[in-house]
């Protein structure tokens, strides 16, 4: 999602998140040139509301996670994402369009989609199958095993068939149960497959009032606000007066926003002309001036470095979600119909999950939403705010921005579902009796989760490049 305003995407309209004054020099980066490090002045020491520090994350991500997640995202299971880009904005009428042709999303042709992703594939061969599929298969098996003659002879025969009406009821129950756990609004229609590798997230020229309204509505109307906060912006100095859960909400959205800005700056349209046919469609690369515009203290009312630090917070939250869901994700088949690649995908996902589980200082979600009925009310508000943000993605006036916005919000919402639904908390007693009603992620959720985490990982990796460019 590449959404920005001509007035500087965050500008001084959205100022938030204060950080600990304690500073610890980074061992991972050379920090001799303080003048050129102004954008990075907050990227030292501990990460707020977390117990680890920035340079630990830098080293862990850039050395261990980034190479693995990049190789994982080119696998067919993760490169094809089903999305509906034709939903109308539910909040306002917006006919804005992109300024350049790079906003267009190229959908998949049917022959491009792996066979295993087409249509309704029977899931009874997979670990995380739908119980209704089990019942249907069992009923068919029983029909073959027991003839009418057998039925008459066997007084102890138990009819295990279930009527189609009951199946429909079960499906409605399942949809209702799943909806209670979801932090994103589920799309009413599935849309069409998009090849994410052919539609990379990068600068599109989408800006102005339309883009500004997206972020203004996210922050001003769908985030928790400090008391006595001015109407048109949120001050960093007042965030720490809020409770942990409300601070977490701000920092997660801010970190995602910072990550998106870094993607725009690192894959900026440097020239619309082809590079002697070598780079068809224009030249793309890092734009240091744009990066400084979005994150330097002078351009952002001293808030840009804070926004960068929030990126690390969002990264740690999604990292923890992956670690928590690892027992579930390790059981997935990652089925596309290509046996060789599916096996490689399973090996790759298990490898990166083992690395993630080895991280020494994960985000601790267990300290949130503890306090009886008031905590439950806050959790419901937290969820409703995030659902509204997922709806706002349908108001984005650029198709490619909308694609990546919906995917990254979907991935972040899946991480929140894993952390706070309560259904991924107790693994040991249930692993031998796996229950889909307790533990279930749709394929689209897994694809969005891994891709969204990959975007955060790449943002932290790109920060090192910008730091070196500034020097």
pLDDT in tens, 289-301: 999 999 998 988 8
Do the annotations mark residue 387 as ligand-binding?
Answer: no
Do the annotations mark residue 346 as ligand-binding?
Answer: no
Residue 268 β-bridge partners: 285
Helix (H) or strand (E) segment spanning residue 342: helix 339-357
Q: Is 108 a catalytic residue?
A: no
Q: Say which of 50, 103, 184, 401 is annotated catalytic.
A: 401
Q: Is 398 a catalytic residue?
A: yes
pLDDT tops 60 at residue 323:
yes
Give the mean pLDDT of the chain. 78
* pLDDT band, residue 111 (cuts 50/70/90): confident
Q: What is the pLDDT of residue 219?
A: 86
Cβ contacts of 344 within 8 Å, gap of 6 or more = 75
Do the annotations mark residue 410 as ligand-binding?
Answer: no
Please state, in angstroms and as integers, the Cα–Cα distance from residue 238 to each residue in 246, 256, 319, 378, following that order.
12, 21, 27, 19
Encode pLDDT of 227-271 as tens digits: 666 555 556 666 777 888 988 999 999 999 999 999 999 999 887
Q: What is the pLDDT of residue 355?
A: 98
Do the annotations mark residue 314 as ligand-binding?
Answer: no
Do the annotations mark residue 320 as ligand-binding?
Answer: no
Please state, in angstroms and as integers, the Cα–Cα distance from residue 391 to each residue in 191, 224, 284, 323, 429, following that order.
15, 17, 30, 28, 37
Q: Say which of 108, 184, 395, 398 is annotated catalytic.
A: 398
Do the annotations mark residue 5 as ligand-binding?
Answer: no
Q: What is the pLDDT of residue 403?
A: 95
């Amino acid at each position: 999602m590449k959404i920005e305003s001509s007035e500087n995407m965050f500008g001084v309209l959205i100022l938030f998140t204060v950080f600990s004054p304690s500073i610890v020099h980074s061992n991972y980066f050379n920090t001799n040139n303080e003048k050129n490090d102004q954008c990075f002045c907050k990227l030292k020491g501990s990460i707020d509301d977390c117990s680890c520090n920035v340079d630990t994350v830098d080293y862990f991500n850039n050395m261990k996670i980034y190479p693995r997640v990049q190789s994982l995202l080119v696998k067919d299971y993760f490169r094809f994402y089903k999305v509906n880009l034709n939903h109308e904005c539910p909040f306002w009428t917006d006919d804005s369009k992109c300024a350049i042709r790079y906003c267009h999303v190229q959908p998949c042709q049917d022959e491009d989609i792996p066979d295993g992703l087409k249509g309704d594939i029977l899931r009874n061969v997979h670990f995380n199958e739908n119980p209704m599929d089990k019942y249907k298969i069992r009923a068919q098996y029983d029909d073959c095993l027991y003839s009418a003659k057998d039925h008459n002879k066997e007084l102890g025969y138990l009819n295990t068939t279930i009527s189609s009406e009951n199946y429909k009821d079960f499906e409605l129950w399942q949809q209702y149960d799943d909806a209670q756990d979801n932090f994103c609004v589920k799309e009413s229609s599935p849309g069409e497959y998009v090849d994410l590798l052919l539609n990379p997230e990068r600068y599109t020229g989408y800006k102005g009032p339309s883009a500004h309204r997206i972020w203004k509505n996210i922050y001003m109307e769908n985030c928790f606000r400090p008391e006595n906060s001015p109407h048109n912006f949120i001050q960093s100095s007042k965030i720490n007066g809020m409770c942990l859960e409300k601070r977490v909400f701000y920092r997660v959205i801010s970190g995602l926003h910072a990550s998106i800005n870094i993607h725009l700056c690192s894959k900026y349209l440097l020239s619309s002309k082809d590079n002697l046919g070598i780079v068809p469609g224009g030249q793309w690369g890092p734009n240091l001036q744009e990066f400084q515009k979005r994150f330097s203290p002078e351009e952002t009312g001293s808030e840009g470095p804070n926004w960068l630090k929030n990126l690390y917070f969002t990264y740690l939250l999604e990292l923890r979600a992956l670690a928590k869901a690892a027992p579930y994700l390790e059981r997935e088949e990652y089925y596309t119909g290509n046996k060789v690649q599916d096996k490689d995908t399973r090996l790759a996902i298990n490898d990166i999950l083992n690395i993630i589980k080895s991280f020494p200082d994960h985000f601790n979600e267990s300290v949130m939403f503890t306090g009886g009925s008031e905590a439950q009310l806050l959790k419901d508000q937290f969820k409703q705010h995030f659902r509204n943000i997922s709806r706002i993605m349908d108001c984005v006036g650029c198709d490619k921005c909308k694609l990546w916005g919906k995917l990254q919000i979907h991935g972040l919402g899946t991480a929140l579902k894993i952390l706070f639904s309560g259904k991924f908390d107790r693994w040991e007693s249930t692993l031998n009796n796996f229950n889909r009603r307790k533990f279930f992620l749709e394929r689209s959720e897994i694809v969005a989760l891994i891709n969204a985490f990959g975007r955060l990982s790449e943002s932290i990796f790109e920060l090192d490049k910008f730091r070196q460019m500034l020097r």
